[in-house]
Structures are given as C-alpha cells and as structure tokens.
Amino acid sequence: MSSANFYETNSRVTIGPIIAIAVGSVVGLAILIATIVGI
C-alpha cells in the first residue's frame, strides 16, 4: 500500500466520526432548542 493511499484512508476514518458527532450535536441542539421554545 502506498503512503498516499494509507494517508487518504486514515484521514477518512478519522474525519468520518468527527463529522457524525458534529451533525449529531447540531441535531441534538436543534431538538433541545425546539423543545425549550415549545415548537
């Protein structure tokens, strides 16, 4: 495996969960705000 290919795969594995956590946090925050406001 070339080092470039390894770096691409490694960065994708690292970034994936970060994006998932960020999206989950935004959705959770939106639900929390909606619940407080009472929409």
Q: How many structural domains does the chain have? A: 1
Residue 1 has pLDDT above 90, yes or no: no
Distance CA 10, CA 27 (A): 27
Displacement of CA 10 from its chain's centroid (Å): 16
Residue-wise pLDDT tens digits, 2-38 = 666 766 776 777 888 889 999 999 999 999 999 999 8
Residues of the domain holding 10: 1-39
The tokens of 14 are what? 């690292």
